[in-house]
Structure formats: structure tokens, C-alpha cells
Amino acid sequence: MKRWLAVMLLAAAGGAALAADPPAPAAAPPAAAARVESVDILKQNQAERTRDQPGNAAPVWRQVVAGETHYSSLPYPESGVLIQPKAQLPGQDTPTSAGEAWRRFRNGPMMSIGGWLIIGVLAVLAGIYLFSGPLKVHAPPTGRKIQRFTPLERFVHWSTAITFVILAVSGLCMMFGKFILMPLIGHTLFGYLTYALKTLHNLVGPVFTVSLLVTFAVFVKDNFPIAADFTWLARLGRHHPPAGRFNGGEKLWFWGGVTLLGLAASASGFVLDQLVPGLVYTRFVMQGANLLHITATVLMMAFALGHIYLGTIGMEGAYRGMREGFVDDAWASEHHDIWYQEIVEGKIPRVRAPEHDGEVVPPPAPKTV
């Protein structure tokens, strides 16, 4: 009994000594110590708020919206930042988070301007067709056809055109569908439709980019500007101004719409799909790519509407030329007289339609302006 009493007295003495003089902990780094202190203060403030006002998490959210980096086990950039730092929006009295600023700008001015731009272009084209009608060929058809587009050129053009239409329709549905389609078909069906269109959009996008690059390689040789292009643009194509194989409007579409806007839409789309190796996909990068993608695609769609109009119902014989590859000599002489004259003079090889191969070609009639 005395032995056990002695052991208990020794243990009590040792515990008292440890409590009175605990070992000094290892010194923490200043940043870690400050973060621990901040978390301790946050816990204390939130505990007091929860006790006095149950359900009020103001201290926690003040820390969250501050944009500071905290610990996260996720191996991704900015994973320790729950909400982006605040930014000042134009016209706003109080700053808001950068993510909220991006959302308001995208769903506000960008969607409004883009939607009205497309509607405005459609209205203008409809007015031109109703009041002026399609551009017709004044000279009677000769019955002789000349090759305007080779099979390769037509294949490349239709590949780019079809993929562009798929991307445009799916993009418009994803951007404006919640305002137009969802009230009509409901949330569930719209959710399935949007998911399918987003998947199709991501799959067709790279095909469009490849088609775009091939289109540039095939058609660039005939799209360098010449003096007649400025005359064509000054007249806006009225009264059949002189033109080479492609007129000033077509060259403007090639360089501005297909090349510049097409490459901008493709590059930003690859960023959004995270297909660019070595790029750090931060929130700022993804938000910037999204705004660039919307801007480029909406402008390209507005630009393309004019091209589609003139290539279908807006100009007599234009669609048949791209579908079949051949146009009548009268059409070529009236709409692209410089190109036609070079063919007649032998500067460009003349490829006739099979049914007219071997016929003697008379000189072109003088063009009336």
C-alpha cells in the first residue's frame, strides 16, 4: 500500500511540473502564424455571432469575400480562394466580386448588344430583299458555263460553312435559350437539350478550326486587295463595279470575318475547353476567354448573315456557282469582269463545263455600268 501511494505522489508531482513548465513549441513561420491567428479570431467572432444571432454567418462571409488565399487540398490554381476579390463596376457605388462583375457584364450588356446586333442585321437584310430584291444578271444567259470553284474549294467551303452553322445555332441556343426556349419547353427538356448542344459544340469546334485553316490556305491567293476593291466598297457593290475573282465585300469577309474573327473564336474556344497545353487556367483567364469568344462569335455571325444572304437569295446565280462549281459566262462577265477578262485572255486557265468542252468562246460583250 505504501509503495502505490509513493508512485501516485511521484506521478502527481511530475504532472504538476509539466503543467507549470510546458515544453516550448516549435516556432511557426510568420505567415502561418498570422493565418492561424486570423482563423482563431474568425472562429471566435463567428462563435459569438452564432450565440447572439443564430444563423448569422457574417464574419465567415466577410473573410470569404476578402479574396484571400487559404488552405485547400485541391491541386488547382486558386483553389484556396473561394470567391474572387472585389472589383468596382462602372455605374456601381459599392464594389462587388470580380466573378459577379463578369457575370453581370456577360448577362447584361454583352447579351443585349449581341442579341440586338443579330436582330438588326436580319432586319436590314429583310428590308433590302423586300424593297430591292435579289441582284440579277442583266445580260441574257449565254448557255456557256465556266468553272468558278474547283471540287476541293467547294468541299473546303461547305465543310467550314456546315460546321459554322452548327456552332452558331448551338451557341445561340446556349446563350439565349433560357430566355426563349426554356419558357416554351420547360426546365428539364431545356437542360437535356443544352447538354447535348454543349457536347456537340465542343466536338465540332476543332473540326471548324481545321476547316478554317484549310480555307485560308486554299483561298488566300485570290483575296489580296486590288485597286478595284476600293471602288467596289465605295459603291457598296451597286451598279456592278469592277471586281476580280472575289470582290471587295468578299475579301473583307475573308480577312475580317473568316481569318480574324474565326481565329479569335477558335483560340478562345480552345482555352474554354482547356485544350491549350501549358496554360494556367485561372478564373481571370477563363472569364477573359469567355468574353472574347462571345464578342468574336457574335460579330462573325452578324458578318456571316450578309455573306449567306448574298450567297443564296440575295444574288442570282451565286448559290448555284458554289453548289455546282460553274457559272454562266454572262454572270461572270457582269459580276466579276476583271476575273472573266483574264480567263478570256488566257491569263487564267479556262475550265469549261463538260457539256460545253471544246466549244469556241466568243469575245465578251462590253460591260455596261
pLDDT band at 10 (very low <50, low <70, confident <90, very high): very low
Q: β-pairing, 96-97 with 145-147?
A: unpaired
Higher pLDDT, 83 or 161: 161
pLDDT of 3: 44
267-297 pLDDT, tens digit per residue, is: 999 999 999 998 989 888 999 999 999 999 9
Q: Which domain holds residue 230?
A: 151-324
339 falls within a domain:
no
When mean pLDDT is compared across 73-87, 176-190, 289-303, the lowest value belongs to 73-87
- Cell numbers describing residue 47: 462563435
Contacts of 296 (CB under 8 A, 6+ apart): 261, 262, 264, 265, 268
Rounded CA separation 137/316 (Å): 7
Least confident of 55-59, 123-127, 248-252, 302-306: 55-59
Q: Distance between CA atoms of 21 and 12, rounded to whole angstroms?
A: 14
**Sign of the Cα pseudo-torsion (307, 311, 316, 317, in order):** positive
Give me the amino acid identity at 355: E
pLDDT of residue 353: 66
Q: What is the pLDDT of residue 320?
A: 92
pLDDT at 219 over 60: yes
**Confidence band, pLDDT 50/70/90 cuts, at residue 6:** very low
Residue 10, C-alpha cell as written in the block: 511521484
277 in a domain, yes or no? yes
Give the number of other Cβ atoms within 10 Å of residue 172's Cβ.
18
- Residues 4, 7, 11, CA angle at the centre, nearest 5°? 140
Task: Determine the average pLDDT of the residues in 68-83.
Answer: 78
Global pTM exceeds 0.85 = no
- List the one residue out of 314, 318, 317, 296 whose CA is nearest residue 305: 314
According to DSSP, the residues that pair with 122 across neighbouring strands are none
Average pLDDT estimate for 95-112: 84
pLDDT tens-digit map of 227-242: 999 999 988 877 778 8
Residue indicated by cell numbers 454583352: 110
Asked if residue 245 lies in contact with residue 222, where contact means CB atoms within 8 angstroms, the answer is: yes
pLDDT for res 41: 62
Considering the domain boundaries, does residue 166 fall inside one?
yes
Asked, for residue 87, whether it belongs to a domain, the answer is no
Mean pLDDT of the chain: 82
Q: How many CB atoms lie within 10 A of CB 261?
A: 22
Which pLDDT belongs to residue 122? 96
> What CATH code is carried by the domain that includes residue 293?
1.20.950.20
The Cα–Cα gap between 198 and 170 comes to 7
- Separation CA 364–CA 66 (nearest Å): 75
Residue 138 scores a pLDDT above 80: yes
- Does the residue 249 lie in any domain? yes
Specify the pLDDT at position 201.
96
How many domains is the chain partitioned into structurally? 1
Q: Does residue 45 lie within any of the structural domains?
A: no
Distance CA 106, CA 119 (A): 18
Question: Considering the domain boundaries, does residue 288 fall inside one?
Answer: yes
